[in-house]
Amino acid sequence: MLIGVPKEIKNHEYRIGMVPASVEELTSRGHQVMVEANGGVGIGFTDADYLAAGATIIETAKEIFAAADMIVKVKEPQAVERKMLRPGQLLFTYLHLAPDPDQTDDLQASGATCIAYETVTSDRGGLPLLAPMSEVAGRMSIQAGAACLEKSKEGCGMLLGGVPGVEPAKVTIIGGGVVGSNAARMAIGMGAQVVILDRSVDVLRRLVSEFGTAIQTVYSSKATLEEHVLSADLVIGGVLIPGAAAPKLVTADMVSRMKPGSAVVDVAIDQGGCFATSHATTHQDPTYIVDGVVHYCVANMPGAVARTSTLALNNATLPFIVSLADLGWQEAIRRDKHLANGLNVHNGQITSKEVADALGREYISYCA
């Protein structure tokens, strides 16, 4: 198969669909891979690295879109890229179509077959191609939150782990899923006092078996949430109700009663956020203050650590890329129902029920 990897063009996006090691895996199996010139240079992968992995370096995205059987990307295709897609071509990337009617229009009009990373499922539950980004964001939330407690960010001037003779900060994590457990791992490592709230007892059990007495688990109710938010120095918001906007668990009144100079990192901001006082920020200007509480609400946290994020994403996507290339997409999704769940658009029709319902459009079931 002829696989095309264009350079990402979204603002400040440095990730790339395939790292050289992934390219080598494909070329060693007899596939051809075209990579756009300087596609990985922002995260330290040069054209020479890609050439050594067996890729061909192509000067423009236009040539790649014109020739490739399958396009592998990271972010949803931008308007200019959507115009270059064509019938019969396969697109494998994050799409997030439910809130994006314009993109959906263009993908339907293109006639291309579009498989979205974020709706591929797994036998163990969860979303295996979304999880790596939650792992990154969860871990990052603690380093971002630690910085928010510094005086330069208008925080209270507290070191997360304290020092001998001086108490550490209290970190309250709301939601003990992928984001929450990765945040906990970092917070424990930095010596903080860690409390995790979740409304699933099974999740709390798993956290205790993973971290033992290094954390305190608390069943999430209105009362316990308020208690542990008001006594925290740093609160991490990592809740998710699949398919829905994040619940506003922390009210503006609660925020106004938090400790002066404390901080919140609302990782769930990409789903609207779980603090009533949250609004999305960017890496250029990540924080703002409400009632003396530092808010960090960056909606694309993994973009800041694009090299780690790209490598983590490639580890998760590579088996699917190999299967799509070796078998062709029809046979690949026929053999793998989880990959089939990734099929969002085919031949002008919406083949994901969730996307069709969210957009109020017709859903067509694709039977492989």
Ligand X SMILES: NC(=O)c1ccc[n+]([C@@H]2O[C@H](COP(=O)([O-])OP(=O)(O)OC[C@H]3O[C@@H](n4cnc5c(N)ncnc54)[C@H](O)[C@@H]3O)[C@@H](O)[C@H]2O)c1
Q: How far is the CB of 68 from ligand X (least distance, A)?
A: 28
Judged by CB under 6 A, the residue of 74, 85, 137, 350 near ligand X is 137
Q: How far is the CB of 219 from ligand X (least distance, A)?
A: 9
Query: How many Cβ atoms are within 10 Å of 336's Cβ, its own excluded?
Result: 19
**Which residue bears the tokens 């979303």?**
127
Question: Considering only residues 273-312, where is the footprint of ligand X by CB under 6 A?
Answer: 299-302
Determine the residue type at 61.
Answer: A
Both structure tokens of 284: 């250029």
Whichever of 85 and 265 has its CB closer to ligand X, that residue is 265
Judged by CB under 6 A, the residue of 19, 148, 203, 305 near ligand X is 203
Judged by CB under 6 A, the residue of 235, 239, 258, 356 near ligand X is 239
Both structure tokens of 71: 């396009």
* Interface with ligand X, residue 269, by CB under 6 A: yes
CA-CA distance, 32 to 72, in Å (whole number)? Answer: 13
Determine the residue type at 346.
Answer: H
Whichever of 311 and 327 has its CB closer to ligand X, that residue is 311
Judged by CB under 6 A, the residue of 18, 34, 173, 268 near ligand X is 268
* Interface with ligand X, residue 270, by CB under 6 A: yes
Residues serving a catalytic function are 96, 270
**In whole angstroms, what separates CA 163 from the centre of its chain?**
34
* Interface with ligand X, residue 316, by CB under 6 A: no
Nearest by Cα to 316 from 108, 41, 74? 74
* Interface with ligand X, residue 175, by CB under 6 A: yes
Q: How far is the CB of 303 from ligand X (least distance, A)?
A: 8
CA distances to 181, 188, 331 from 167, in Å: 23, 14, 58
* Interface with ligand X, residue 145, by CB under 6 A: no
Whichever of 191 and 272 has its CB closer to ligand X, that residue is 272
Whichever of 6 and 177 has its CB closer to ligand X, that residue is 177
For the purposes of burial, counting CB atoms within 10 Å of the CB of 247, is it exposed (0-12), middle (13-18) or buried (19 or more)? middle
Interacting span for ligand X (CB under 6 A) from 47-55, 97-105, 237-245, 354-362? 237-245
**Which residue bears the tokens 């293109």?**
110
Do residues 350 and 108 touch, judged by C-beta distance below 8 A? Answer: yes
3-state secondary structure of 90: strand
Both structure tokens of 271: 């789903």
* Interface with ligand X, residue 240, by CB under 6 A: yes
The interface mask with ligand X, positions 90-129, x = CB under 6 A, is ----------------------------------------
Cβ-proximal residues to 124 (8 Å cutoff; 6+ apart), any chain: none
Q: At what angle do helices 131-148 and 306-327 cross, to 10 degrees?
A: 180
CA distances to 174, 176, 280, 302 from 236, in Å: 6, 10, 15, 16
**Phi, psi for residue 194 in degrees, rounded to 5:** -120, 130
Interacting span for ligand X (CB under 6 A) from 34-42, 152-160, 263-271, 316-324? 263-271
Q: Where are the alpha helices (DSSP H) in 149-293?
A: 178-189, 201-211, 222-230, 252-256
* Interface with ligand X, residue 177, by CB under 6 A: yes
Instruction: Read off the DSSP letter of residue 322.
Output: H
Question: Considering only residues 215-234, where is the footprint of ligand X by CB under 6 A?
Answer: 220
Q: How far is the CB of 5 from ligand X (least distance, A)?
A: 23
Which residue's C-beta sits nearest to ligand X?
Answer: 177
Whichever of 71 and 299 has its CB closer to ligand X, that residue is 299
* Interface with ligand X, residue 26, by CB under 6 A: no
Positions in the binding site for ligand X (CB under 6 A):
133-134, 137, 174-180, 197-200, 203, 220, 238-241, 246-247, 249, 267-271, 299-302
